[in-house]
Amino acid sequence: MIAVLAFLLGCGTYGLAVGAPSGHGAEAAAAAPAPVVGTSPRAGATDVPPNQPVTLTADHARLAAVVLQASGGGPVAGTTSPDGRSWRAQAPLQYGTTYTWSGQAVGDGGTVPVTGSFSTVDPARTTQAQINIDDGETVGIAAPIIVQFDHHVADKAAAERAMTVQTSIPTTGSWAWLDDDNGGSRAHWRPQGYWAAGTQVSVAVHQFGVDDGGGIWGAQDVSSHFTVGRAQIVKADVNSHEMIVVRDGKVVMDFPASYGLGSDPNRNTTNGIHVVMSKAQTVLMSNPKYGYNNVPEHWAVRIENNGEFIHANPLTDGVQGSENVTHGCVNLSTENAQQYFDTAIFGDPVEVTNSPVPLRLADGDIADWTVPWDQWVTMSALAA
């Protein structure tokens, strides 16, 4: 009798549902949880930055027929995860647009609709950013990266966080914000020392959806990929009356030259590291204070916006190599000027030494190398 009783007790325990309340039946099963849908941005959100990630998630269910529809436009491209439990937008949103969800979340606990909407910020003004170095360009070893904004950037830290520089050769560098007299803002990135020859550089300015402050938002992303070319440096010692060109460590040109008249501070060739900015076969040069206007000068390489060039000047041929008589430019013979002209590219450094008048940051658009490195890094909006 004891053995039979034990068998009967075991059969009664086996048929109970785990966790079922007492008295509700041995075969009752636990109810499956209902699907739960979450969206980011949240339903009803306004002034959403259009670069914010957009996601949809489902707990206890799989998503079906999910669509994010733009007002006045088509659906936003997106992908569903392999397990069917999440969806992510793969295309950027737009400014000033309402987006509405549709679809379903289907699970063992039932089906719930995917609903809700949100809207993106509608800025009163946007700013365009432009990178000074074109995609595919080859530049010299002193070339700065310049990002020019066509509106004033109030939140420079936000703008700078969205700008990146990647290099094929490890390169220490920093952004610095410089004065802009044209109503916009400009940021320069330069390496601590000259670029290494052959460096591949990728610049990305992620401005779309960035709040630059003062009611101004970034209009669009821009980028550039360029190459640092050979290491060509002009050595311009004003006391030597010569101009030496060094390429990849070897002297390739050594020309007689005439520099700015030393007795007139307004005519001195300024001391410091200049950067080749542009060149033209003929440039009309004027200096009314000294009595000349629109004088054509040939094989002209601009090294600063303050009027300094390296160019041919047959009028000084007789003193090149022995006397400084110019109005601040570096004068060469026509033959020598053309030979140098043919090799010069944007970003080549021109190192002027032994002049009593220094090149200053305020003298032109590219005087970055006049600023000591420890000062340059403090000009970043993200400086500690």
Catalytic residues: 311, 329
Cross-strand bridge partners of residue 58: 37
Which of 74-82's residues contact partners 24+ apart within 8 Å by CB, and which partners? Answer: 78/54
2 CB burial (10 A radius; 0-12, 13-18, 19+): exposed
Q: What is the DSSP letter of 302?
A: E
Q: Give CA–CA dist 342/364, Å, rounded.
A: 24
Q: For residue 84, what are the CA distances in angstroms to 25, 80, 107?
A: 35, 6, 11
Classify strands 349-353 and 232-237 as parallel, antiparallel or unpaired: parallel
Q: What is the DSSP letter of 301?
A: E
Token duo for residue 329: 């430019």
Residue 370 backbone phi and psi in degrees, to 5? -80, -15
Residue 103 backbone phi and psi in degrees, to 5? 135, -165
Q: Give CA–CA dist 25/193, Å, rounded.
A: 81
DSSP string, 160-207: HHTEEEEESS---EEEEEE--TTSSEEEEEEESSPPPTT-EEEEEE--
Token duo for residue 74: 């088509």
Residues 274 and 305: beta-carbon distance below 8 Å: no
